A = this chain, B = another copy of it.
Amino acid sequence: MENQFQVGTTTTISGMIHNVRVTKWGGFIILRKARGLVQTVVGEQSHFYDEQGAEIAMADLCREMAVTITGTVNEAKIKDPAALNNTIEIAVDKVEVLSRPSSTEVIDMNALKFGDEEALLRYKFDNRQVTLRNPRDMGILKVQSTIAKAFADYLTEQGFTQIFTPKIVSEGAEGGANVFTMDYFGKQVYLAQSPQFYKQIGVGVYERVFEIAAAYRAEKHATSRHLNEYISLDVEMGFIKGQEDVMKLEADLLRSIIARVNTACAHELNLLNATMPVLPENVPAWKLSEVHEILFNEHLCEADHRGEDDLAPEEERAICKYALEKYGSDFVFVTHFPSEHRAFYAMDDPKDPTLTLSFDLLMRGLEITSGGQRMHSEDDYRRKMIARGMNPDNFRFYLDTFRNGMPPHGGFAIGLERITACFLGLTNVKEASMFPRDINRVAP
């Protein structure tokens, strides 16, 4: 499309009319394309035609008409920062209407002014079929799309196989109450909370697998941090020496994704006023107990969190600040969380079985992914299930996988909407979902 914008050439472009402004001498038609806005200038030379080819007036044009515009590319007189290419404008020769809205009261996102941010968000989500057309939301989901593609590209290059696993399942992987149930021909089944069991099975087949698919959590609240249906970017790799191999893969993968977003979405980052995080060659990695110690010794937290079995929110923020100042990293790995707080499939640390070989990755003060090494021996699974009051008989096919042999393996999962929101500095994760689902929202 860049070639269409060479100064001095005649060009023909199609798009939606984002806005029309009439002036004494003619006016402007702001055309919306897939990646942003294009400014076109109407003058005496301009003609307008309806769907049947009959000549019409500029005043007959309206927002959200689909049109084809032919004109000459000139250097821009006014440089609109929201424009896709703000160095040019197009002097309109001809506008041909392809189709039109049936209402003259189309939603004008640019005119939306709410006193209250919550009311604006609610309005946007209630009318998302149309409000998605505003450049800001288009930019967010374009970045989301780019992250997903970069994820698949990098892992494919590294010899991973993309798998597609069922979301209608007979056993929940993550436990707890936040699972959706449904009737499946008279049987009670679940919507998968994660592809955990299946991606581990995939390692026994393809050594290294990834999946990009929906995951479901029946969260009973509607906060800015929760989605009931989200896209999980899942990775699982076999033949690892330890969780360090998994952490290295995740860092390399994220570095590749960040580089791609920086180059492919420069326009969107600019529009959203976002700066992508820095991920250095060596990402700081500390044990949970070490994080408590560092923050206490350096007086970086209000409270003394030593001995606690999880990270406090103020610790997440403080350790990220510390890592950025001291190591130039927007990311921090925290490892060795207590076994009782991690999923049953996490491998316990042979040096201290109360801890696990598992990690969280923090970015700019927030946890963005969890991962770690998994157990690979059937006996270990049975022992841990029984210790937790789980019935191994409910996990027949999963345990059968380990009975039939599995290599040492581990993996992680990244919530696509959450990482998109973190990269772009959005305060509400729902803004990074095309059609968010929460306890109150199942439409549009």
Contact = CB atoms under 8 A, between A and B. Distances in A.
Interface of A: 1, 14-16, 33-34, 63-66, 68, 98-103, 106-107, 127-130, 132-133, 138, 141-142, 144-145, 148-149, 152, 156, 159, 161-171, 180-185, 187, 189, 191, 198, 201-202, 204-208, 212-214, 216, 218, 220, 228-229, 231, 238-239, 376-379, 397-398, 400-408, 416, 433-435, 437, 439, 442-444
Nearest to A148: B162
Given A184-B180, A208-B34, A130 B404 contact: yes
The A contact surface, by secondary structure, is mixed
Given A99-B376, A407-B98, A400 B182 contact: no
A407 B66 contact: yes
Nearest to A397: B444
A218 B189 CA distance: 14
B443 A170 contact: yes
Contact of A164 (B162, B204, B206, B231): B231
B106 A435 contact: no
Considering the complex of A and B, which 3 residue pairs feature the smallest CB-CB distances, nearest first? A64-B405, A397-B444, A101-B405
Given A204-B16, A442-B170, A408 B156 contact: no
A239 B66 contact: yes
Contact of A129 (B169, B182, B201, B239): B201
Contact of A33 (B101, B141, B142, B207): B207
Contact of A407 (B99, B130, B182): B99
Contacts of A1: 159
B239 A206 contact: no
A49 to B, nearest CB: 15
